Chain A
Amino acid sequence: MTVPDQRAPGVKFEDLALPLFDQLYNFARWLAQDTSEAEDLVQETYVKALRGFSGFQAGTNFRAWMFRILRNSFLTSRSGLKATVSLEEDETGAVASSAPTPETMLIDLADRDAVREALTELPAAAREILLLCEVEEMSYEEIAQVLAIPIGTVMSRLHRARKALRLWLLDKIKGGPHGV
């Protein structure tokens, strides 16, 4: 999906923002883990974004800007505050090697329900970065803008999140009652 990065003269806020509605809601719902909270978040995001649109810098990524407003709204919300610790945790460190082991090859990656469950169970930091990267197909640069972290941190956090997801799925195969 292409979102205009530059604000052409006369481009209206709603023309840029409304096409993002479905993506923003999906992201909000994953963050908040609650329907009504997600709805509040999306509304709040649009109100804040509309108010701040005049200050929106042409040339910056509009989609990343909207997601950032949404995420910040979540962080200042009640349930967001609980998640803040894990989200804002400093995660620096080299990208570790993660060659697939014979075990990880057993993971049924097509099991959508299991992956969905894993996403729900993972720490918020892992969940949000996986959603931005895989669902929203954002570049590292965009993710860095949304999360307000350096690109290096995006890479390490992404690596960690994927590893955590694989481990979760592996645990499920090994010991979970719903194991394959």
Chain B
Amino acid sequence: MACEAWRNKLDAYADGELAAAETAELGAHLRQCASCAADVLERVQLKRSIAAAGNHYAASAQLREKVGRSMGVAPQRDRLRWWNLVAAPAALVLIILFAANFYADREKARQERVYSELADLHVATLASVNPVDVLSTDRHTVKPWFEGKIPFTFNLPELAGTDFTLVGGRVAYLEQAPGAQLIYRSRKHQISVFIFQDRGGSAARRDSGPASALSFSMESWSKNGLRYFVVGDVGRDDLAALSKFLRDAV
């Protein structure tokens, strides 16, 4: 077949639209006809060039998501992002609330535990045959006795002429830390004064006015890095009076 007969079919050939028989026949012709082969080559090049140039625009991610959503198909990424927006802060708030609550609960429980532990110590001391290890009404005897037994020193008030009398002292432990326990007498009642190093931050060691635990009165404060607890079965006024003397001790 002459070239002219094929001319009109070169496009279809390049487009792959010729029937198998014709394709084979034209293929045979192209191997012998440089002119037609060059023509086909040019057409194929043009096709490739248009394909490369025409595949040019990419849709935005937003449009892709929008269309996906309208199909009821939420892209995985989109779903994640949605969750992140809502769930992450919500989870954070929950964690903070939980932590704060947990912390408050724990601190409250700890404070109660500390108070009841101190009350136990107080009662145990009263019940003991030898309630004190240093028996002296003289603060200048009692205070030096603690030297080397506890890792701090403290001042005790002069109580001559008051309702309170120093009975003596012993080493006490609270939360695995050593401290001083001083026993005072007020009329028939005995009062324990606990002095520990104030490790700070904890509610157990927070200041408290006259408080009651297990029907004992209790008062606590911090001074010069020391945490004072006053525990006794005296009235609150007496407890407050003794507390004042101790606070003012220099």
Contacts and interface: CB of A to CB of B under 8 A. Distances in A.
The SS class assigned to the B binding surface is: helix
A112 B49 contact: yes
The SS class assigned to the A binding surface is: helix
Nearest to B15: A133
B160 interface: no
Interface residues of A, number: 46
Interface in A9-60: 13-14, 17-18, 21-22, 25-26, 29-30, 38-39, 42-43, 46-47, 50
A22 B58 contact: yes
Interface residues of B, number: 37
Contacts of A115: 49-50, 52-53
Interface in B89-103: none
Interface stretch (A64-72, A77-85, A98-106, A171-179): A98-106
A51 B153 CA distance: 87
A110 B49 contact: yes
A38 to B, nearest CB: 7
Nearest to B43: A162
Nearest to B54: A135
A160 B43 CA distance: 13
A112 B53 contact: yes
A18 B57 contact: no
B46 A165 contact: yes
Greatest chain B CB density within 10 A among A29, A39, A99 is at A99
Given A97-B8, A109-B46, 16 more contacts: A17-B71, A18-B68, A22-B59, A25-B57, A25-B63, A39-B59, A46-B67, A46-B70, A97-B7, A109-B42, A109-B49, A112-B52, A133-B15, A134-B47, A140-B17, A158-B11
14 contacts: A21-B67, A25-B57, A25-B58, A26-B57, A38-B57, A39-B63, A50-B70, A98-B7, A104-B42, A105-B38, A109-B46, A119-B50, A139-B17, A162-B46
